[in-house]
A = this chain, B = another copy of it.
Amino acid sequence: MPRANAFYAQSGGVTAVINASACGVIETARLHKKEIGKVYAGRNGIIGALREELIDTSRESSGAIRALASTPSGAFGSCRYKLRSIEENRAEYERLIDVFRAHNIRYFFYNGGGDSADTCLKVSQLSKTMGYDLTAIHVPKTIDNDLPITDNSPGFGSVAKYVAVSTREAALDVASMCETSTKVFILEVMGRHAGWIAGAAGLAANSRGDAPQVIIFPEVAFDQTAFLAKVKRTVERDGYCVIVASEGAQTADGKFLSDTGTKDAFGHAQLGGVAPTLATMISSTLGYKYHWAVSDYLQRAARHIASQVDVDQAYAVGKAAVKMALAGKNAVMPAIQRLEGSRYKWRIVEANLAKVANQEKKMPRSFITRDGFGITDKARRYFEPLIQGEAYPDYKRGLPNYIKLKNQLVPKRLPPM
């Protein structure tokens, strides 16, 4: 392929390390100037392409691009926006092609989760379906860790570390207060349909019986009687009980424990409030004094306590995406493969995007204890390597010195959509 420009966009919920993937893409592209001209980043994801709002990353210094590796959130803006099928909305794809052609964009890097992989897959077919030659590579990202094929998803390791650290710390607090005060502490964590994040909180325990004594997974139908009995036994045994609850906790009939009734742009129910729901349940039946926390965005933005392994992997998938594009691949995704052996090692392999899109990988039942309220040793062996290393950002005047890019837009060449 002759020298052409690249388009990079961030999609869906952002993470503590998605910018490390951006850094990997841009730094690697800069090393291949013969093949790749400029990297244009979509302002607010794919919407930036539709609106012809393209950020010229070549205006950023190498230091600024490097600083992306230690800055959370989406530096170019992200979006929740799902392209419909070509049959349903051909005009949208024609617009994409118009913008790409106007700016000589022949490489497409899309950094997102399962829904975004579907968008990337559609874009990868433009060559076949609409005759526009384009190489599309998906760069995996999701705190939910629910992408198939890849051993884990960049973004997850840092959330896992955050919730494990926070759970360990809050548990010490409750343990020291429980004699006369709070007996039950509930931490609500993210994970709409998969309990990976809640499960990772189980790492806070050094040995069996340590807090968190109860974990609520979306994969296990919530049984109120069994739950309350477990909490009561735990308080009677330990003096206190720490509960980590996934926002996706649901009953056997698929009803979320706390459904606010609103939906996001992908049509998913917007959740929140499992912790106060459980707290009220415990207080009204068992009478224990409780506290609860909802970490919400704090958990996925917590670059200050990011996992070094996660940062390294996020960078590596960005770098590998560019390498795959240069090798002429299309409709693929760099995936993380865990190698055999007692010491944790990983490498990047190529995954077929058609097998990634719109799939959700749940926690295997073998990762959850028989009673449904804890993680097994097998799960610990899976989770533990992913939280290794503290990738501390630089600080200035007591606060992380996160980079704010210039984000200069390329002059438009087309009339508005």
Q: Which residues of A contact B (CB under 8 A)?
A: 10, 13-14, 16, 44-45, 47, 71-81, 161, 164-166, 168-170, 172-177, 179-181, 185, 187, 203-204, 262, 264-265, 270, 272-273, 275-276, 289, 291-298, 300-305, 307, 384, 387-390, 392, 395, 397-400, 402
Contacts and interface: CB of A to CB of B under 8 A. Distances in A.
A291 B293 CA distance: 14
A168 B400 contact: yes
A242 to B, nearest CB: 10
A298 B180 contact: no
B402 A384 contact: no
Contacts of A262: 289
A13 B181 CA distance: 9
A164 B398 contact: yes
Which of A76, A304, A388 has the largest number of chain B CB atoms within 10 A? A304
Contacts of A14: 173, 176-177
Which of A307, A384, A398 has the largest number of chain B CB atoms within 10 A? A398
Nearest to A273: B276
B79 A169 contact: no
Contact of A179 (B44, B270, B298, B395): B44
Given A71-B172, A77-B176, A264-B289, 4 more contacts: A44-B180, A77-B175, A168-B402, A392-B392
Contacts of A77: 175-177, 179
Given A79-B181, A204-B399, A264-B181, A292 B301 contact: no
A24 B2 CA distance: 68
Nearest to A188: B294
Contacts of A168: 399-400, 402
A73 B302 CA distance: 21
B78 A177 contact: yes
Contacts of A179: 44, 47, 77, 79
Given A170-B297, A291-B297, A301-B169, A395 B402 contact: no
A293 B296 contact: yes
20 contacts: A13-B177, A47-B179, A47-B180, A76-B176, A80-B177, A81-B180, A165-B399, A166-B302, A168-B399, A169-B297, A169-B298, A169-B301, A169-B303, A169-B304, A170-B297, A172-B402, A173-B301, A270-B289, A293-B296, A387-B399
A14 B176 CA distance: 8
Contacts of A276: 272-273, 276
Contacts of A79: 177, 179-181
B297 A174 contact: yes
B291 A170 contact: no
A297 B185 contact: yes
A318 B264 CA distance: 51
Contacts of A173: 14, 72-73, 297, 300-301
Contact of A398 (B161, B170, B392): B161
Nearest to A295: B293
A398 B388 contact: yes
A169 B47 CA distance: 24
A392 B395 contact: no
B307 A296 contact: no
Contacts of A164: 398-399
B296 A292 contact: yes
Contacts of A273: 276
Contact of A304 (B76, B175, B297, B305): B305
B398 A301 contact: no
Closest 9 CB pairs of A and B: A74-B176, A73-B172, A293-B296, A169-B301, A387-B398, A44-B179, A173-B301, A79-B180, A170-B297
